[in-house]
């Protein structure tokens, strides 16, 4: 971000004062300049009380905080997960993430920007859907109850179908549809189990993202052809990007789900562009303390755009803007990416939209 801090505050005051994240602007020297109402609530202090507060104090026990600040002053952006900040009174504030970004003009960093979200931000505010954040733990508890109620009748259906299969020996006209029923029961059961798993990284291994994306595009091409759509797929993949660590099938389902969404959004004819690069301006500190660069995958399509204000809601469970949609695909995709140490977002474009997936590249690769 390369704008003056005072212009940034004046131009976007109405936005930064209403977003659900804490936002604080600091001088180049790390002195306090501005905090939105959310940051004031999180830090339990007013602008007057923050007057003598510094960025170093905010970072509290964050490891190598001086080096992090020095990196931001050189134009880098950092995202730290699961760290603890410190309020002016010395209170420890656990946060889900902390973003540190440079502000300035022409490559000169004049101010620093911090964005953070405390753990308690996961509490649902039903009066404000833009603040509605459902945690994976909460969803897991809900899903266990739902899956139990679904599996009970499925067990009955499977048992009855197996009995019919035994009775249909020698009668192909009966045997074939019964076999279809059994296959679909297994498919639904497998899907339910895959959602309920606590970890998406049971079979972690090095993954070549370029090859995985090519496979997903090949499958999406067949889907588009079967739907009678003229979709042109193009790829721009940096083959030098090192492998990431993760569960291959889970990430394949993420990419294929996003590509299928792109195909569905295109009416008749359109374009899907898949690109990948190393995002050198974003460094993520893992729970193990490692500093990782991020691989950025972008899936852009020229299809129907999402409505204004849906960027946040689109990843919520059971929310869908498609007729008959379950509202689970993007929630599961985002959850899988988070379990791989990354994050995902959607951006509205002048024509169409882009999904951006960020995955950490293991240190030393």
Does residue 58 lie within any of the structural domains? Answer: yes
Alpha-carbon distances, residue 315 vs 113, 202, 357 (angstroms) = 26, 23, 13
Last residue of a domain, one of 94, 122, 150: 122
Same domain, 140 and 235: no
Q: Given the DSSP bridges, would you call strands 269-285 and 77-86 parallel, antiparallel or unpaired?
A: parallel
Angle among Cα 203, 254, 136 to the nearest 5 degrees reads 75
Q: What domain range includes position 282?
A: 204-360
pLDDT in tens, the chain (365 residues): 444 445 555 555 655 666 678 899 999 999 998 898 888 888 888 888 898 999 999 998 888 899 999 999 988 888 888 888 998 888 888 888 899 988 876 667 888 989 998 865 433 333 333 333 444 555 555 565 566 567 667 777 888 888 888 887 777 777 778 887 888 788 777 666 666 554 444 567 889 999 999 999 998 998 899 888 999 999 999 888 889 988 888 898 899 999 999 999 998 899 999 999 987 665 565 555 555 678 999 999 999 887 777 776 777 766 666 665 666 778 888 888 888 888 888 888 888 899 999 998 876 65
Does residue 86 lie within any of the structural domains? Answer: yes
> What's the domain count of the chain?
3
- Write down the pTM of the prediction: 0.52
Does residue 129 lie within any of the structural domains? Answer: no
- Which stretches does DSSP call E strand in 9-91? 22-27, 32-35, 77-86
Task: Give bridge partners of residue 159 from the DSSP assignment.
Answer: none
Last residue of a domain, one of 196, 212, 230: 196
Task: Give bridge partners of residue 292 from the DSSP assignment.
Answer: 284
Same domain, 110 and 142: no
What digits encode the pLDDT tens for the residues 319-333? 666 665 666 778 888
What digits encode the pLDDT tens for the residues 217-272? 998 998 899 888 999 999 999 888 889 988 888 898 899 999 999 999 998 899 99
């Amino acid at each position: 971000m390369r704008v003056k801090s005072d212009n940034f505050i004046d131009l976007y005051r109405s936005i930064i004062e209403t977003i659900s994240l804490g936002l604080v602007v600091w001088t180049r020297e790390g002195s306090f300049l501005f905090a939105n109402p959310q940051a004031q609530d999180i830090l339990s202090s007013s602008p007057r009380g923050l007057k003598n507060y510094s960025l170093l104090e905010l970072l509290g026990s964050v490891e190598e905080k001086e080096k992090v600040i020095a990196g931001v002053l050189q134009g880098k952006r950092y995202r730290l997960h699961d760290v603890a900040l410190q309020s002016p009174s010395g209170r420890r504030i656990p946060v889900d993430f902390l973003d540190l970004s440079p502000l300035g003009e022409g490559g000169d960093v004049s101010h620093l920007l911090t964005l953070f979200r405390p753990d308690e931000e996961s509490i649902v505010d039903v009066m404000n859907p833009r603040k509605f954040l459902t945690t994976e733990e909460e969803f897991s508890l809900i899903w266990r109850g739902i899956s139990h109620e679904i599996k009970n009748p499925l067990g009955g259906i499977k048992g009855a179908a197996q009995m019919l299969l035994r009775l249909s020996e020698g009668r192909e006209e009966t045997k074939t549809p019964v076999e279809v029923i059994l296959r679909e029961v297994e498919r639904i059961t497998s899907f339910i189990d895959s959602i309920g798993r606590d970890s998406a990284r049971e079979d972690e291994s090095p993954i070549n993202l370029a090859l995985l994306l090519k496979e997903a595009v090949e499958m999406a091409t067949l889907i588009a052809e079967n739907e009678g759509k003229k979709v042109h797929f193009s790829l721009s993949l940096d083959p030098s990007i090192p492998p990431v660590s993760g569960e291959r099938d889970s990430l394949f389902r993420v990419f294929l789900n996003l590509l299928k969404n792109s195909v569905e959004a295109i009416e008749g004819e359109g374009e899907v562009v898949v690109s990948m690069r190393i995002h050198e301006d974003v460094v993520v500190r893992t729970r193990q303390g490692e500093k990782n660069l991020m691989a950025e995958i972008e899936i852009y399509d020229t299809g129907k755009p999402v409505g204004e204000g849906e960027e946040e809601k689109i990843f919520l469970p059971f929310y869908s803007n498609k007729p008959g949609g379950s509202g689970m695909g993007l929630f599961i995709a985002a959850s899988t990416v988070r379990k791989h140490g990354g994050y995902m977002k959607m951006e509205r474009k002048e024509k169409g939209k882009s999904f951006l997936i960020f995955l950490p590249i293991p240190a030393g690769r």
